[in-house]
Amino acid sequence: MKFILIAGEPSGDRLGAALMVGLKALLPQVRFEGVGGPAMQAEGLESAFPMEELSVMGIAEVLPKYFHLKRRIRECADLVLVEKPAALITIDSPDFCLRVARIVKEAAPEIPTVHYVAPSVWAWRPGRAAKMAGVIDHVLALLPFEPPYMEAAGMSCDFTGHPVVAEPVASAADAAAFRAAHGIAGNAPLLAVLPGSRRGEVTRLLPPFGETVAGLSAALPGLRVVLPTPAHLADVVTGELAGWAGAPVILKSPDVANRTAAFAAADAALAASGTVSLELAAQACPMVIAYDMAPLTLWLMRRMIRIDTVTLVNLVSETRTVPEFIGKDCRAGTLVPALRRLMAGETAGQAEAMQVTMDRLGRGGEAPGRRAARSVLAFLQVAAQDLR
């Protein structure tokens, strides 16, 4: 049995890899084609082109690459139509992936389509679910409250849990070893800085994050900084961090063990909005979330958003314990005081919210990648019966 998987960014790459592990455990002869990053390639996918080409978001960021992305959409659709896989599985990156699925459905409606990561219709653009139902048959949801939204639009959907709950939790010894390995004193205040995984967001966020680190360093002598970054952004990050306070340790494409140890070793984190808030929560690292984007994109987002928080820990735990600073608030003047409070131990219930989040996302149960694989195979079995 062959599947074509398409992922467009590092978080999707990790989801795809976990799903591939699950499918290989259930179907030893399974084969994969498509687009993915290093994690999916390590599981046997030969990417049709570099996944990093798709790691863009926002109108202002996408427009310059429009024709190139349109060509890649066509290439992916053609691959599916030629190979006729058991299913096309698209992973997050809906602006790209759902366009591929649409071409496939119009040309070959018999090819089953699965989308991994339900669109945030509970947050903004609720009409996306109905539109998506025209090209997607089955959805794998990361959050427990998402299936009813998808089912109401006409798609089958299973909550499969978030793969972050399957990652190892770093111990105190792991955290101490991380500090020792990077020359960070055990009593030195340590801040994890996470500006995102897309080039556009990293270049936009690093300047205010750098000013924040400078301000925090002035208030906390001996402050150290650790910044994990995907390999394709290592050069950009290294250049931007020249002259930063905090003697930054740059982790270039860290493995899971090194990344989780860094989060466990940190006293707090300054992070872009996104999946990373769940990764930090898994390691019980207090956090401040900050984000900015092109003015037009930000204006459109504010007009459409239907919720009062963009932080997944806040949403899943049904609290608002993680402070967030978006748009004009993403600046040192607001971020430094918030981080000083965290570094002083004023976490305002974040530990409890992070524990609730992990429990609700499936910690302690079957690995989400395996659950996702079971869901895909169960859907295909039902689909096959319906065709008889």
Query: Does an H or E element contain 224, and which?
Result: strand 224-229
pTM for the model: 0.79
Alpha-carbon distance of 364 to 358, in angstroms, equals 9
CA torsion through residues 27, 28, 33, 38, sign: positive
Domain with CATH 3.40.50.2000 in the chain: 2-161+365-387, 166-360
Q: Mind listing the pLDDT tens digit for each residue in 261-282?
A: 999 999 999 999 888 999 999 9
Residues with Cβ within 8 Å of 24's Cβ and at least 6 positions away in sequence, in order, are 30, 43, 44
pLDDT in single tens digits along all 388 residues of the chain = 999 999 998 889 989 999 999 999 999 899 999 999 999 999 999 999 999 888 654 444 555 577 888 999 999 999 999 999 999 999 998 889 999 999 999 999 999 999 999 887 654 566 778 889 999 999 999 988 899 989 999 999 999 999 889 888 999 999 999 999 999 999 999 999 999 988 888 999 999 999 999 999 999 999 999 999 988 899 999 999 999 999 999 999 888 899 999 999 999 999 998 889 999 999 999 999 999 877 776 666 666 566 678 889 999 999 999 999 999 999 999 999 999 999 999 988 999 999 999 999 999 899 999 999 999 999 999 988 876 6
* CATH number for region 2-161+365-387: 3.40.50.2000
First-to-last CA distance in the chain? 19
- The pLDDT tens digits of the residues spanning 353-366 come to 999 999 999 998 99
CATH class of the 166-360 domain in this structure: alpha beta
Nearest C-alpha neighbor of 198 from the set 76, 65, 302, 108: 65
CB atoms within 10 A of CB 352: 13
